[in-house]
Amino acid sequence: MRFPAPADTFPTKDEMADYLEAYAAHFNLPVQTGVTVDRLTRRGAAYAVSAGDRQFEADHVIVAMSDYQRCRVPSFARDLDPSIVQLHSADYRNLSQLRPGGVLVVGAGNSGADIALEAARGGHRTWMSGRDVGHVPFRIDGFAGRLLLVRLVLRGLFHRVLTVNTPMGRKVRSKLLSMGGPLIRVKPKDLESAGVERVARTAGARNGQPVLEDGRVLDVANVLWCTGFQPGFSWIDLPIFGHDGRPVQERGVVVNEPGLYCVGLMFLYAASSVMIHGVGRDAEYIANAIYDRTRAARAA
């Protein structure tokens, strides 16, 4: 079954949910939802998967999760005054969650820029802390912009050029994994016109207030932590991780651990690996790897 999406659009959440339900029904897959896996290890030649009091064994396991599992907040957040509202971007919904007064947005990526713009337009004095991550040099509003974004950036640059097989892709990969990607929706002039003040990196706390890398202390009523996530791999009890804490893998096939695979991780193979079209290609590669490994085992 192929997803019935036009070439220059991506499916909506409802369309994707409907497709997955239809896919499971079409192939009569025994999908079990609402199951939280808390441990993955080896048991002889097979993998042992624990989910509370439930146990599973499998010859092949695919860890199909993203990097965005656990909110990352710096340790000095606990040193801020208790009266300051602190929210991670994952928990932010709207301006009603904030106190009257200044807002410091820590992190200058897409989430940070979106929230800073909303806070400033909502009447809050707003500072956005962090380095300039760059931005897509055209507006994505309207059909022409979306078409350019999908065809040129997402399906062209992110999908075919920026891969682990190209020098440019490998260089960009190291930057994306450590610093995030460019702004897509918000432009620097949007932030400037709204009154958002760009400031240095937030480095700590002093007398209950945030301190910037340049020594400046900000008197704020709210801090929004747009500081990213950690993958949350603590439940995997296998020696598969590199010095950066990520699984050592080649296109999702985990090295030195036959039968274990990953999909959905940031830049698994390409910059598009966390997008619908990219994760589909990665999943196809892994499915073929499982097929080849199973066929070879049967022939042995």
User: pLDDT (tens digit, 9 = 90+) per residue, 176-219?
Assistant: 887 777 888 899 999 999 999 999 999 999 999 999 999 999 99
Distance CA 8, CA 144 (A): 11
Distance CA 200, CA 211 (A): 9
Please tell me the CATH code under which domain 13-69+230-299 is placed: 3.50.50.60
Residues 137, 112: contact at Cβ < 8 Å? no
126-137 confidence digits (pLDDT tens): 999 998 888 877
The first and second tokens of residue 70, run together, are 């656990």
What are the structural domain ranges in the chain?
13-69+230-299, 70-135+182-229
- Please report which confidence band the pLDDT of residue 79 belongs to, taking 50, 70 and 90 as the band edges: very high
97-126 confidence digits (pLDDT tens): 999 999 999 999 999 999 999 999 999 999
Q: What is the mean pLDDT of residues 230-241?
A: 92
121 backbone dihedrals φ, ψ, rounded to 5°: -70, -20
- Out of 3.50.50.60, 3.30.428.10, 3.60.60.10, 3.30.420.40, the CATH code matching 70-135+182-229 is 3.50.50.60
Q: Is pLDDT larger for residue 116 or for residue 14?
A: 116
According to DSSP H, which parts of 65-183 are helical? Answer: 110-121, 142-148, 167-179
